[in-house]
Structure 1
């Protein structure tokens, strides 16, 4: 009958434990009293060294923060005269250093920026004093940890002047980074120290001072955590005798004759043992220690050991001291004997050797079973091979393992064939990083990347660079989607753009932890192109139908308008003939009738040009003077401008002849000017102006119609048919103007004016350029 592995381990471990406990019970550790005292002194020395290093490490970030802020302000990396930027810098440094209670920056003109912790509101408080323009203001701001404003108010009663504070005066006089003596902060009533660093200008003068307030109560907390025997203590004494750190923080505050909080000195601190151990160090108001000093003293009949460490450095003349009773180290251990050490060593050696042999004996069949299982898993050994001699539990586990391996292999083969031979692209993607773990050949065909290259990429890198970043598998975004279905643009390795349809599901392990995504990908570029072509064809058919309707309507209107215009021209000629026959006829009447005849003929020419434009012909182009046309156009809209209270100014200047259809260009100018007048008429502003300018620009004449009205609504798509903001408009004016300008070889565009208004520009060809091109 085979012995159970569990029984073998239980018996062996229980026996070893019994032997070990028995040996420990009948043995004890002993050493000499002198060795223990030396150990106690070494422990106290290590405590002092640790306290010094902790204090140095606790305060060193303050020097770096102050000097960094000073250099940034000095080098103008951070504008020290911009309180908002300086406040953010101090706020960030205060968040990085939990030992800082406040950071501030004062300048020679009395300006001040102070960021401090506010434990009462669990927030940060900022004080900003501004002195610009001879006016002094004080603003208080409370912010949360995300720099969001909780409260903001002014403090007109504040009279704080940083230039009078000791830290400012000391740093300005010494022109270097300085430490103040420790003191009790007025606001928090906690012990602290201030470090100040000057901000120098280019000539060596002082522009301001950067300061850091540090609460040193954490040093007392560190001393309280130190274990020096059972009842030993460590404390820190300033060179003036003040006890500035003690395991019992309540002993660090006393009230002087003026009613102000201060530190107690070593001769009056409410720790009688500390007074007995270190009170003699104070001489004429100072404590001076040149080197590490170990000593013994007796208090209430008990012997104590103590250590005093020299100051941390010249800037921080802090003396670390520690004491502990000798009995903490020797009382219990004196009861043991040296010989028990060798007994314990001998028992440990025998127990270790026995345990090693027993463990090897127990583990030998387990190791053979583990090797056999690994070989079977790798396919290097047939599961039907005989099982080596082992434990019953391992034989049972082997049978179960073989069944699971066979089932897993069948599943893996089936999944592998499905994955590789799928007609759609398939991939496994890591749920945390989004990197490809495995891809089939279809994915490489779709993306153009080989499997090795994809193994070093994330799916987000396939997304088109012009589209928003597709962080499908970014675990940092919180809860991951279990299913994903969407279409997006991707960029192949050759730079071409494709559309793909994605379907992905999350795979979890038995503990519910995400393992990876199984993703299928299909190239739908051709389908999307077909959809776009159908949509484009639909738009073209719609535009064609609309153009045909408008053409028929315009042709009918042109035909109907020609008849009354012809009658007007004939009647005007008849009236002129009648006036010529009358003696003493009024010259103004003759001029009016002559203008009626000219304008009726001009209207006919406009209708003729409109019919030619609808028939898609270019109309008659000729060389003409643009300056005269601009002046005439301004005359035509003068009445409308006067009625709307709009001033129209024409500034064409001297221009060379242009080559275009004169009537069509006039139509564009009139339409743009009327649009500007209508835009100004809808406003209540007093100053309403439309300015028409023209100049030669790069081989063309550039005409501009600008107004100071409300501008163009950004939601309106300019130059698009049937887009209008006018209640009675058709939305065709700008579209027709653009078509006319393009038909005459130019282009039309819009520019936004600042602070308000709109400017429409269009170009026409110079007559010289046209001839040169011919």
Structure 2
């Protein structure tokens, strides 16, 4: 890259001015920033001290009120054993002290007088508990501001005993005024603190304890009125790490799992900035902080400063934390610095313009020569026209340059006509970024974009999202070889997906550096669609041929097996006649022969049903008992189930007879049972159990076979020919079963909602006149 003489002069002059001004600005900024930060620390310290004194002053009346009531009771000036006098005294104290939430007195005999503020029936509410021997009475009284009774009620269920409360126990043990840790009041659900003072007797004991409940919400209100920079805040942290005061009072309450309210610990506090600054206090602090501590931290890319005050007192083990963004104190300084920088920039710009004017005068002849060369390159003027006056050194270079420009223009014209008028889509692409430099009309026709759209796009923007991982932005620059060919999918402007054959060559300069890639495109969407259609037809023909072959093989096997099965049945019948003629015939032998004859006849029925199904025979429907058929199917599958450790349960609800091809239905049940046995036999699951149920739904009977096996993978397409999960399976069983059930007027499906294993269900029609004529009742069977 070559810089012009005018630009060089302007940049040099403006740069010197800018550096000088910036040096002065930054030096002043650093010194001013330090002074402002020191002042900010003093402001935070003053805020902490103000919050400390306010807290002390806020709580000081509570100690005076409690100790006054205790001393009055000790000196018999205030009759603590007279509830009415005591109530009036506590009422007057509560009325004149707005920060008090309630005042109360609990005696050693369990009596209790509690005057509190209320937001319900009246502004004040009193609870009086009197104990006389075994008699206990609890009464609540609502009064207005003039101590007039509004309403009262007796609560016989109130078993409150002040002697069991922590404030009473601690005050009696210490024999001195005590403060409780802050907590959330149960009645008002506001943050507060309790002060309790014992009422001593002459013999060194106590007659009771006076307590004061103080809502500390106004401390948070005081903190919210503090102005600490623009966005700074102050908070109070108790010795156990709980936040008890904050400008946002909604953050001071959190709820436990049992529903009780408490103060949040600083580690869980919702003020993220405060949590970042003081979370290390989450474990609490037992030792008194001797002096203030200042710190600086970063939150959300912004610098903050913070301070911690010492613990207020032994009775009030609280720490005041204050934080504020550093920008609140040095923001004006930074704005001043920015203004100074802009002034420096403006001065530099003005100086630059002056330099440009000087440079323009110096290299005006050079510019005139450059303009003439550009016009000649664009074909706007003839190279033979006289050259403007310029430096002698440029005159000879001009003649050589004009010759080269003329030759280049001729070559560009010929190439441009070939590019624009080509019948194939063509484009020039930047190798490093894949951006389009130039496209012809055919390219716009294929992609649907016009020239203005394409010139703001990259090659990768046209590629289908699923194919973009194959192409980097510098694909053409890093491709091996001089040329590349590939196929990909484009997304047209209208959203249509098309398949494109791409041929690209990389054009390099005389140093071997990539200049641009020339790309030609051919739309092969239709040819690809034809190829896919031919492939699908080929697969369909293969499947059709395979199914036809299997049908012929099954028909042949059915024909061949019928003869030996008939011979077995006849021979078994003859053997039964011989056994019946014997005098000492074993009963087991006759039972075995009878079973052989029944099974051979059943096998023949199955073969004939299969042959009828293959030959499209739909005339085999009979009325039969489905429960009996399920029982026979169990016996057939039982040896395999026993070997696999599988238990089969048939749960009957006395189903009505159904009308269907009995043999085909038996084949379906046996196939479903065997599938379940094989699935559980290949797994390590326990227990291994198959449950067969039958229930009437409308005019159909639904039979379900469910197991406790591993279930069916969502990726398996059930009931699809040649789709199987078995290593040696053909994938025809479920497909044939579905065809059999549908041929008998029912449906077969997989229940995907069952998650305990796998469940297959099918339905069969029930004859209208057979609903109330069940064949027989059955109980649950277990094999």
TM-score (norm 2): 0.50
CA displacement, residues 112-141 of structure 1 (integer Å, 9 cap, x when unaligned):
xxxxxxxxxxxxxxxxxxxxxxxxxxxxxx
Kept in 1, the 8 Å contact 2:711–2:755? The answer is no
Q: Which segments of 5 or more consecutive residues in structure 1 lack a partner in the other structure? A: 1-8, 18-38, 59-107, 109-165, 179-197, 215-238, 246-311, 321-350, 770-774
3-state SS of paired residue (1:381): coil
Kept in 2, the 8 Å contact 1:706–1:760? The answer is yes
3-state SS of paired residue (2:547): helix
Equivalent residue, structure 1, for 2:486: 486
Kept in 2, the 8 Å contact 1:723–1:732? The answer is yes
Equivalent residue, structure 2, for 1:205: 263
Equivalent residue, structure 2, for 1:439: 439
Equivalent residue, structure 1, for 2:471: 472
Cα distance 1:175–1:463, how it changes in 2: closer, same or farther (>3 A)? farther
Cα distance 1:365–1:659, how it changes in 2: closer, same or farther (>3 A)? farther
Deviation for aligned residue 1:607: 0.9
Cα distance 1:558–1:365, how it changes in 2: closer, same or farther (>3 A)? same
Deviation for aligned residue 1:648: 0.9
Superposition CA RMSD, Å: 5.4
Selected match of 1:49 from 32, 39, 49: 32
Equivalent residue, structure 2, for 1:373: 373
Equivalent residue, structure 2, for 1:291: none
CA displacement, residues 316-344 of structure 1 (integer Å, 9 cap, x when unaligned):
89999xxxxxxxxxxxxxxxxxxxxxxxx
Q: Give the 5 Å matches for 1:305-704.
A: 362-430=362-430, 434-464=434-464, 467=466, 469-470=468-469, 472-474=471-473, 481=479, 485-505=485-505, 517-574=517-574, 596-616=596-616, 620-621=620-621, 626-651=626-651, 653=653, 660-683=660-683, 687-694=687-694, 703-704=703-704
Paired with 1:488 and 1:417, the residues of 2 have a C-alpha distance of 28
Kept in 2, the 8 Å contact 1:746–1:762? The answer is no
Deviation for aligned residue 1:515: 6.0
Deviation for aligned residue 1:647: 0.6
3-state SS of paired residue (2:428): strand
Paired with 1:718 and 1:367, the residues of 2 have a C-alpha distance of 80
Cα distance 1:696–1:481, how it changes in 2: closer, same or farther (>3 A)? farther
Paired with 1:615 and 1:352, the residues of 2 have a C-alpha distance of 99
3-state SS of paired residue (2:687): coil
CA displacement, residues 429-488 of structure 1 (integer Å, 9 cap, x when unaligned):
4556655443333333333444444445554454446x354573436x998546654323
Paired with 1:212 and 1:319, the residues of 2 have a C-alpha distance of 20
Paired with 1:756 and 1:539, the residues of 2 have a C-alpha distance of 37
Cα distance 1:458–1:388, how it changes in 2: closer, same or farther (>3 A)? closer
Kept in 1, the 8 Å contact 2:499–2:524? The answer is yes
Paired with 1:55 and 1:505, the residues of 2 have a C-alpha distance of 68
Deviation for aligned residue 1:670: 0.8
Deviation for aligned residue 1:391: 1.6
Deviation for aligned residue 1:388: 1.3
Cα distance 1:643–1:490, how it changes in 2: closer, same or farther (>3 A)? same
3-state SS of paired residue (1:474): coil
Deviation for aligned residue 1:649: 1.9
Paired with 1:631 and 1:413, the residues of 2 have a C-alpha distance of 92
Cα distance 1:213–1:687, how it changes in 2: closer, same or farther (>3 A)? same
Kept in 2, the 8 Å contact 1:741–1:762? The answer is no
Cα distance 1:427–1:640, how it changes in 2: closer, same or farther (>3 A)? same
Kept in 2, the 8 Å contact 1:634–1:648? The answer is yes
Paired with 2:254 and 2:433, the residues of 1 have a C-alpha distance of 49
Cα distance 1:437–1:358, how it changes in 2: closer, same or farther (>3 A)? closer
Paired with 1:204 and 1:243, the residues of 2 have a C-alpha distance of 29
Paired with 1:743 and 1:481, the residues of 2 have a C-alpha distance of 61
3-state SS of paired residue (2:386): coil
Paired with 1:353 and 1:588, the residues of 2 have a C-alpha distance of 123
3-state SS of paired residue (2:568): helix
Paired with 2:476 and 2:502, the residues of 1 have a C-alpha distance of 21
3-state SS of paired residue (1:649): strand
Cα distance 1:666–1:356, how it changes in 2: closer, same or farther (>3 A)? closer
Kept in 2, the 8 Å contact 1:503–1:521? The answer is yes
Paired with 1:573 and 1:352, the residues of 2 have a C-alpha distance of 122
Equivalent residue, structure 2, for 1:221: none
Cα distance 1:664–1:401, how it changes in 2: closer, same or farther (>3 A)? farther
CA displacement, residues 141-176 of structure 1 (integer Å, 9 cap, x when unaligned):
xxxxxxxxxxxxxxxxxxxxxxxxx98859745645
Paired with 1:689 and 1:553, the residues of 2 have a C-alpha distance of 35
Cα distance 1:402–1:605, how it changes in 2: closer, same or farther (>3 A)? farther
Q: Which segments of 5 or more consecutive residues in structure 2 lack a partner in the other structure? A: 14-22, 42-182, 184-235, 256-260, 279-289, 297-321, 331-350, 769-783
Cα distance 1:319–1:598, how it changes in 2: closer, same or farther (>3 A)? closer
Kept in 1, the 8 Å contact 2:432–2:476? The answer is no
3-state SS of paired residue (1:206): coil
Q: Give the 5 Å matches for 1:132-281.
A: 169=239, 172-173=242-243, 175-176=245-246, 201=254, 205-209=263-267, 211-212=275-276
Paired with 2:602 and 2:293, the residues of 1 have a C-alpha distance of 105
Kept in 2, the 8 Å contact 1:201–1:207? The answer is no
Paired with 1:372 and 1:698, the residues of 2 have a C-alpha distance of 97
Equivalent residue, structure 2, for 1:235: none
Paired with 1:479 and 1:701, the residues of 2 have a C-alpha distance of 70
Paired with 1:354 and 1:577, the residues of 2 have a C-alpha distance of 133
Paired with 1:551 and 1:646, the residues of 2 have a C-alpha distance of 33
Paired with 1:636 and 1:353, the residues of 2 have a C-alpha distance of 104
Kept in 2, the 8 Å contact 1:657–1:766? The answer is no
Report which of the two structures shows the higher radius of gyration computed on alpha carbons: 2
Kept in 2, the 8 Å contact 1:748–1:760? The answer is no
Paired with 2:715 and 2:432, the residues of 1 have a C-alpha distance of 41
Paired with 1:612 and 1:436, the residues of 2 have a C-alpha distance of 68
Deviation for aligned residue 1:716: 7.2
Paired with 1:760 and 1:688, the residues of 2 have a C-alpha distance of 14
Deviation for aligned residue 1:562: 0.7
Deviation for aligned residue 1:641: 1.8
Kept in 1, the 8 Å contact 2:705–2:760? The answer is yes
Kept in 1, the 8 Å contact 2:243–2:264? The answer is no
Cα distance 1:577–1:542, how it changes in 2: closer, same or farther (>3 A)? same
Kept in 1, the 8 Å contact 2:711–2:756? The answer is yes
Cα distance 1:599–1:212, how it changes in 2: closer, same or farther (>3 A)? same
Q: Give the 5 Å matches for 1:65-80.
A: none
Kept in 1, the 8 Å contact 2:699–2:766? The answer is no
Q: How many residues align?
A: 487
Equivalent residue, structure 1, for 2:168: none
CA displacement, residues 283-326 of structure 1 (integer Å, 9 cap, x when unaligned):
xxxxxxxxxxxxxxxxxxxxxxxxxxxxx998989999xxxxxx
Deviation for aligned residue 1:671: 1.4
Cα distance 1:314–1:377, how it changes in 2: closer, same or farther (>3 A)? closer
Cα distance 1:520–1:213, how it changes in 2: closer, same or farther (>3 A)? farther
3-state SS of paired residue (1:427): strand
Kept in 2, the 8 Å contact 1:700–1:763? The answer is no
Deviation for aligned residue 1:700: 7.1
Cα distance 1:399–1:695, how it changes in 2: closer, same or farther (>3 A)? farther
Deviation for aligned residue 1:563: 1.0
3-state SS of paired residue (2:367): helix
Paired with 1:457 and 1:631, the residues of 2 have a C-alpha distance of 72
Deviation for aligned residue 1:597: 4.2
Deviation for aligned residue 1:609: 2.1
Paired with 1:512 and 1:175, the residues of 2 have a C-alpha distance of 73
